[in-house]
């Protein structure tokens, strides 16, 4: 008899689903498939298909060209499913893994937004460079500095404004990655997390552009009242919090509690950095 095949009870339950078994058999027949092929073959929307793929992640992997292949465990599972060998299947019981969860308010969630940019990094890079370049330039002209997910009234040289933005982006992405990697042993997709972390700046960019356009339209420098700035900082903070939590849930597959804890550390660290700069 060939070597026994051990299957965790969670994986065994995942394979009990006929759609997931069909996905494995389809990949086995085709050697490799793309995400589009899977959606067309099984007539599934992105959400349900992505869920099925997560449930069988031990048996399927995606390479750098976005093609899905069977892992060695996946090949063994197919042989067992199709009865092509006499391996003895041993069910190994263990505690249920923490479910991959994404924060949502009712039907509102940033999951699709984060997922799109994580899978299409070129979009993020191009749009971030354009928005960052224009926003920082206009911000300096209006004495506005972007620091993390905050905007402050401060006159600085253009090079320092760009350096502040770059440092803020790297800080959020790298700090979140380090906590997830060393705190929770989540080492996969580090570049994807760094890529989507720059989305926290989107409200700040839009704010700076709005102020600059309003100034051009009126022919004067627009002064935003302190109370409005305070409200906007709260909005920016909430946005940043949701982006980080959702990114950690989608990319690192952490629970909401763990993602929120990392987001809290990152947010408070940005506040301390801002206080240090203003002092």
Instruction: Give yes or no for a contact between 146 and 164, defined as CB atoms under 8 angstroms apart.
Output: yes
For residue 230 the two structure tokens come to 């305070």
| Neighbouring residues of 117: CB distance < 8 A, sequence distance ≥ 6 | 123, 124, 195, 196, 199
**CA-CA distance, 200 to 89, in Å (whole number)?**
47
pLDDT number for residue 89? 44
pLDDT number for residue 84? 59
pLDDT number for residue 93? 38
pTM: 0.62
pLDDT number for residue 85? 53
pLDDT number for residue 251? 84
Q: How many CA atoms lie within 13 A of 77 on its CB side?
A: 28
pLDDT number for residue 104? 66
**CA-CA distance, 146 to 205, in Å (whole number)?**
8
pLDDT number for residue 1? 38
pLDDT number for residue 98? 43
Domains and CATH numbers, the chain: 5-92 (1.10.10.10), 111-278 (no CATH)
- pLDDT (tens digit, 0 to 9) for every residue of the chain, 279 residues total? 344 445 444 455 667 788 888 888 888 888 899 988 888 888 888 778 888 888 888 888 888 788 899 888 778 777 777 665 555 444 343 444 444 466 666 667 787 888 788 777 787 788 888 888 999 998 888 888 887 777 888 888 999 889 888 888 888 888 888 888 888 888 777 778 888 888 888 888 999 899 888 888 888 877 888 888 888 888 888 888 888 988 888 888 788 888 888 888 888 887 777 777 666
């Amino acid at each position: 008899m060939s070597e026994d095949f051990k299957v965790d009870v969670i994986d065994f339950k995942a394979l009990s689903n006929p759609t997931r078994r069909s996905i494995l058999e389809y990949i086995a027949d085709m050697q490799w498939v793309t995400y589009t092929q899977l959606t067309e073959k099984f007539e599934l929307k992105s959400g349900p298909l992505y869920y099925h793929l997560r449930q069988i992640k031990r048996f399927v992997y995606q390479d750098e060209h976005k093609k899905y292949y069977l892992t060695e465990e996946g090949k063994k599972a197919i042989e067992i499913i199709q009865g092509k060998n006499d391996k003895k299947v041993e069910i190994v019981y263990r505690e249920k893994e923490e479910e991959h969860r994404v924060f949502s308010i009712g039907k509102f969630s940033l999951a699709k937004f984060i997922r799109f940019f994580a899978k299409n990094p070129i979009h993020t890079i191009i749009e971030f460079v354009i928005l960052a370049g224009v926003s920082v330039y206009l911000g300096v002209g209006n004495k506005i500095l972007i620091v993390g997910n905050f905007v402050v009234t401060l006159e600085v040289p253009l090079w320092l404004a760009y350096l502040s933005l770059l440092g803020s982006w790297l800080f959020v992405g790298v700090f979140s990655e380090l906590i997830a990697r060393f705190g929770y042993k989540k080492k996969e997709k580090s570049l994807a997390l760094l890529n989507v972390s720059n989305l926290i700046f989107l409200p700040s960019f839009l704010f700076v552009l709005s102020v600059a356009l309003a100034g051009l339209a009126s022919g004067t420098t627009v002064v935003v009242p302190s109370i409005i700035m305070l409200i906007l900082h709260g909005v920016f903070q909430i946005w940043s919090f949701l982006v980080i939590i959702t990114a950690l849930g989608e990319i690192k597959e952490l629970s909401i509690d763990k993602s929120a804890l990392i987001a809290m550390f990152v947010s408070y660290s940005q506040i301390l950095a801002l206080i240090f700069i203003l002092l």
